[in-house]
Structure 1
Amino acid sequence: MTVTSWKPAQLADLRECLELMTADGTVPGGVIAHGTLDGQPGFLTAGIVAPECGDARPGPDTVYDVASLTKVVATWPLIGSTGIDLDTPVSTFLPTVPAEAPGGKVTMGQILAHTTGLRADTRLDQYRNRSADLAALICGEDLIAEPGAGHRYINRGFILAGLLLAQDTGRRLNDLAAGLWTSLGMTSTAYGPISRSSQVAPTEQRLAGAPRLWGIPHDDNAALLGGVAGHAGVFTTAADLATYATALLAGHRDGTELGRWLARSIVPRAVIEPGIDRGLAWILAGDGRAVYHHGFTGTSLYLFPATGRYLAICTNAVYHHQDNRTALAPLRDVAIKVITAEP
């Protein structure tokens, strides 16, 4: 690995895009952390946290609901640290799931690679007033494809992974995650709900005239699970994401347990589209050189192990928009362009 610093022009492109998206109302504001594994992070900021927070400006310690970044900030590293066999059917770990259940033969490796064939719609609300165990309900549904047959992004798999982690370790998922984050020095990362303040970014207003979601998960299914789930529910800061990215990249260089897990996870497992693959949880681009994941609320984390560089984007884009893949595309396009640029 040759550690490569960020070029001023690359950071200027990121800043300009974030400022333009703030000015046109795509996001109230946001923070981008940038750095390398052997240096201190830098931060680009724009706009405000949200109108509810007055004049408060976003910064390294502003807390954001990171939505699906939960998959790679909580669930994925915990699976790596517990050493759960990726090829063993989930029914082996979950006593309430019969081996003959449609989802009983799904493996943790398939969950991480989004190749389970489980139903794509999450909709845990359909299980209200059902007495059966949630894992059994999820695995009892008919599959939409044969496990391992192809890629389809499925939150249900990571919900199941969170349940499996708790069952296998005998500890609650939020407790497991808190121990991990503490060990890495991520002092501002936690599952919600968290207290409202001017440094916690609100998200969506679900009903006209009602308060916005603020300090509680934007994801409906995470909320149904009390805010603690394998697919969503984590709140964190750009500073903590920089700490996490540094630990991953340094571990990859030094061959630590976490680094070996990252190396194993960035081998392509399934094709998402031409040029884009899925490893274990992570998305891989540029022949696997760039490693990243997004969160629906307006967050992203990018790693480039070959150069030791990272980017972490924190915004609350759902404050204004639900169609975030379109709204956030310009910033995400710039991010992947600059992190994969030749040194």
Structure 2
Amino acid sequence: MPAEPQEWVDATAAVLGAVLGEAVDGGQFPGGVLVVGQAGAGRAVAGRGVVAPECGDVRPDEHTRYDLASLTKVLATWPLVGAAVRAGRLDLDAPLRAAFPELPSPGSKLTAAQLLSHTSGILPRTGLARYEHTGRPLAEHLCAEPLVSAPGARHRYVDRGFILLGLLLPELLGRPLADLADGLWRGLGLTATAYGPLPRDARLAPTEQRLRGAPRTWGVPHDPSAALLGGVAGHAGVFSTAADLAAFAEHLLGADGPLPEWFALSRRPRTPVEPGLHRGLAWIVTADGSVAYHHGFTGTSLYLAPRTRRYVVLCSNAVYHGWDRARLAALRALALRVLLPAS
């Protein structure tokens, strides 16, 4: 790869864009958009296909809105937990009962760090519908369920931990989750990022048609648990653009400030995920610490290389024809590889 920043950005965007185009041309999903950048040095955008057949011939670009799915975890919940820690409202390593004495066991014994790092042992199956119409707060239900493993014993990626954090943050910071997140994003200049529901629009990518003959999921979260929670949850529900995600990446890769400091702490490896990869606080990190990243189920990804200040953003509606992990496997693997030191 060329050494000059803009040359690297342009060349990398071309390579990744070609792989994105192969998936789109092969009918894997309607389209998508990539942003490749180096903080302080420039960006390049590569869009392929169309937003969706429902949107006519509108082409995706960096201003097309996508359902971020689990990127909500790092775009909303994770930075807000950092704000609560900085404000002295939350101790990462103290049991939740220290701040919330009303929570039942065994969940009250868990720590925020365990929830963020997916090592809490909390029940993996989300299944929130069972708690409807009980009259009991959802946070209490989540904490009352038995654990499936000892806290800290192993990594198991689950949504419940972030759902629980999303329910607790308003009590810690004094405002509803959507208001807290909106204040965070506006402070960072992320003007197109929002919780749904959003009105259907040709610049907003629809996702999956769950039932034949039914309306396609469009402007409401693809994630059923987030939808059940009214679209605002700690694990999913946020919509954004590749441009906003690129701006967020550049904030995290900044030289100083509370968000880069929180990112530096959070990308320290805490538990192994698979050979060569660890989980920090929310983020997956390579063993050498050179790249941190997170995926969203709908077909979104954010990759950050702190040492070089390079990043890759991917936005797509890869679930348009239903979920298939293989649709994005090659592109995601390449996006990680181009940011590793050897590249």
Structure 1 length normalisation: TM-score? 0.95
Q: How much has 1:341 moved relative to structure 2?
A: 4.8
Aligned residue for 1:46?
48
Q: CA deviation at 1:315?
A: 0.1
Deviation at 1:90, TM superposition (A): 1.6
1:260 corresponding residue in structure 2: 261
- Whether contact under 8 Å (1:94, 1:135) holds in the other structure is no
What residue number does 2:59 align with?
57
For 2:166, which of 162, 174, 178 is the aligned residue? 162
Structure 1 position 333 matched with structure 2 position 333:
yes
Q: Give the secondary structure class of the aligned counterpart of 2:292.
A: strand
SS at match of 1:313: strand
* Equivalent residue number for residue 97 of structure 1: 103
Residue 247 of structure 2 corresponds to: 243
Instruction: Give the SS at the match of 1:307.
Output: coil
**Within-5 A mapping of 1:94-173:** 94-98=100-104, 101-173=105-177
**Displacement of 1:96:** 3.5
In 1, distance between residues paired with 2:126 and 2:290?
Answer: 31
User: 3-state SS of the aligned residue for 1:328?
Assistant: helix
Structure 1: tracts of 5 or more residues without a match: none
8 A contact 1:286–1:340 mirrored in 2: no
User: Secondary structure of the residue that 1:41 maps to in structure 2?
Assistant: strand
Q: 2:80 aligns with which of 78, 81, 86?
A: 78
Aligned-CA RMSD value: 1.4
Task: Check the 8 A contact 1:66/1:233 in 2, yes or no.
Answer: yes
- C-alpha distance in 2 between matches for 1:288 and 1:3: 23
Tell me how far apart the structure 2 counterparts of residues 275 and 37 of structure 1 sit (CA, whole Å): 26
- Which structure has more relative contact order (CA 8 Å, sep 6+)? It is 1
Deviations 1:64-112, CA, capped at 9 Å, x for gaps: 00000000000001111121210121223335313xx111101000011
Are 1:26 and 1:321, in contact at CA under 8 Å, matched by a contact in 2?
no
Gaps of 5+ in 2: none
Q: Write out per-residue CA displacement over residues 221-270 of structure 1, whole angstroms, 9 at most, x where no aligned residue.
A: 001111000000000000000100011101xxx22111110110010001
Instruction: Provide, for residues 165-223 of structure 1, a one-character-per-residue CA deviation record: whole Å limited to 9, x for no partner.
Output: 11111210110000000010000000010111000000010110111000000000001
SS at match of 2:338: helix
Give the corresponding residue for 2:312: 311
How far 1:122 moved relative to its partner? Answer: 0.6
TM-aligned CA deviation for residue 40 of structure 1: 3.5
Name segments (4+ residues, structure 1) moved above 3 Å: 2-5
Find the counterpart in structure 1 of residue 236 from structure 2.
232
Q: What percentage of residue pairs aligned between the two structures are identical?
A: 53
Equivalent residues of 1:26, 1:320 under 8 A apart: yes
Deviation by residue 1:94-150 (Cα, 9 ceiling, x = unmatched)? 35313xx11110100001110000000111111122121100000000000111111
Q: Which amino acid aligns with 1:279?
A: G
Structure 2 Cα separation of the partners of residues 3 and 301 of structure 1: 22
Separation of aligned partners in 2, 1:126 and 1:44: 43
Measured in 2, the distance between the counterparts of 1:77 and 1:292 equals 15
Using the size of structure 2 for normalisation, the TM-score is: 0.95
One-letter amino acid matched to 2:302: L
